[in-house]
Structure 1
């Protein structure tokens, strides 16, 4: 029984994963494919996305999707979803991972930076979900949304108001999706990571001074590896989590415990 759960947990599933050009998204694409899923990814960085596809194919894994895709544009999100359906005929898992933020104190940041962050952290989750919804409803499925401990005010950091608001919106939207999706056999789960070692955070983690500041509020005194977040997403997306919906799973090394 244990062996069966560890191998091929997503066998035959079609998984759409956004932001697969690197970091958590690339880790998710490769792990989900290793678990038997047919993965259709995307990224704003077309070259990075193609690198992920090449890595997957070199390992005999099925990961597709190319070109630059800006999911903050509603029509681009629609086209991405429809391209996946045209290729595979259905959607079983939608993994909304892509995210980008601009930072600044509420009194100082520009309106454009606020709107840009909401667009690229909350709007894009809605767009992808909106256009995937009818396909998921045809046979049931799972939506996994990546939020952040910033949604829960865990960091005590100034200058992340737009980011915190957007990620809190992701958590609230996930709960609503769980309510609306239940009758269609759609489950929806959000995951709130803490500090994760990604290309974006690596320069700070590699510098002793900024590393200390970044990890000061993390009881386990280290950053998560992308694969550690993806492992939780894999469980949430698998049939093992068949009764899990509407929840936010915090994966933060104990930050919220302080």
Structure 2
């Protein structure tokens, strides 16, 4: 079905690359007015861990559009290292870029989401919030994504009286420019991922975008506080 998001105002963070770029393009194809946000290469450049910058950004969005119908928090950054090698600075940086980067835009957008009356917040957890992947030094990333799961459930409760739904998508390994670098650096990684997957393939950004379209649409009007694993079956066994 085309134009499933017609008339909706959508803000997508992390829209310059990877999953965020895939979601932004898919939303535009479905008729949404898409406002892409990233550090560079989008409609709006913003450091989403800078409180003042985020407040100013969403103030501008509010002045222009008056509401936000869909907020997709796809921006994230993580340092991958084993615990003996993970500095406290990198631990804190990862948690800021997994948790603060969701909290600050959502808080700034909240009045605009409430103004919609039928808004959808889509956050990204991860298969790593449910299980460890052998060979992957993802301690800080796992902690951050587990936090996103918990945060989103709370947002669903706080948003319900205002018509604001909040859900998470938990991707498995999705091929992007960033993850392709991991695959190139570790030739054994792909085999480890496929050994865990039920489906013998790696995911693509469009696999996530299809779910995000549904969650952002009125078809999902009765869905909140839920998590959707899109991981080739990796967490199902």
- Asked if these proteins are the same fold (TM beyond 0.5), I'd say yes
Does 2:200 match 1:221?
yes
Distance verdict in 2 for CA 1:237–1:114, change over 3 Å:
same
How far off its partner does 1:75 sit?
1.5
* Normalised TM-score (structure 2): 0.94
Question: Which range moved further: 242-251 or 211-220?
Answer: 211-220
Hey, what's the Cα distance between the residues in 1 that align with 2:132 and 2:235?
A: 6
Q: Which runs of 5+ in 1 are unaligned?
A: 1-5, 50-64
- Residue 70 (structure 1) aligns with: 47
- What SS class does the counterpart of residue 94 from structure 1 fall into? strand
- What SS class does the counterpart of residue 222 from structure 1 fall into? coil
Is the CA contact 2:134–2:192 (under 8 Å) kept in the aligned structure 1?
Answer: no
* Normalised TM-score (structure 1): 0.86
Question: Which range moved further: 128-137 or 195-204?
Answer: 195-204
Hey, what's the Cα distance between the residues in 2 that align with 1:203 and 1:250?
A: 24
- Residue 152 (structure 2) aligns with: 174
Distance verdict in 2 for CA 1:219–1:42, change over 3 Å:
same
Is the CA contact 1:146–1:190 (under 8 Å) kept in the aligned structure 2?
Answer: yes
Hey, what's the Cα distance between the residues in 2 that align with 1:237 and 1:26?
A: 16
Hey, what's the Cα distance between the residues in 2 that align with 1:180 and 1:135?
A: 15
Question: Which range moved further: 183-192 or 130-139?
Answer: 130-139
- Residue 124 (structure 2) aligns with: 146
1:22 is aligned, of 17, 21, 24, to: 17
- Residue 253 (structure 1) aligns with: 232
Residue correspondence of structure 1 range 50-199 to structure 2 within 5 A? 65-66=43-44, 68-140=45-117, 141-199=119-177
RMSD: 1.6
Distance verdict in 2 for CA 1:205–1:78, change over 3 Å:
same
- Residue 230 (structure 1) aligns with: 209
How far off its partner does 1:134 sit?
1.2
Hey, what's the Cα distance between the residues in 1 that align with 2:222 and 2:164?
A: 11
Deviations 1:106-126 (A, max 9, x none): 343111001000110111100
Deviations 1:144-168 (A, max 9, x none): 0011111112524552111111101
Higher relative contact order, structure no. (Cα contacts within 8 Å, ≥ 6 residues apart):
2
Distance verdict in 2 for CA 1:198–1:175, change over 3 Å:
same
Hey, what's the Cα distance between the residues in 1 that align with 2:163 and 2:187?
A: 48
Distance verdict in 2 for CA 1:109–1:208, change over 3 Å:
closer
Hey, what's the Cα distance between the residues in 1 that align with 2:103 and 2:181?
A: 31
Distance verdict in 2 for CA 1:155–1:109, change over 3 Å:
same
Kindly tell me the number of residue pairs found equivalent between the two proteins.
235
1:243 is aligned, of 197, 214, 222, to: 222
Hey, what's the Cα distance between the residues in 1 that align with 2:187 and 2:236?
A: 24
Distance verdict in 2 for CA 1:9–1:190, change over 3 Å:
same
Is the CA contact 1:195–1:215 (under 8 Å) kept in the aligned structure 2?
Answer: no
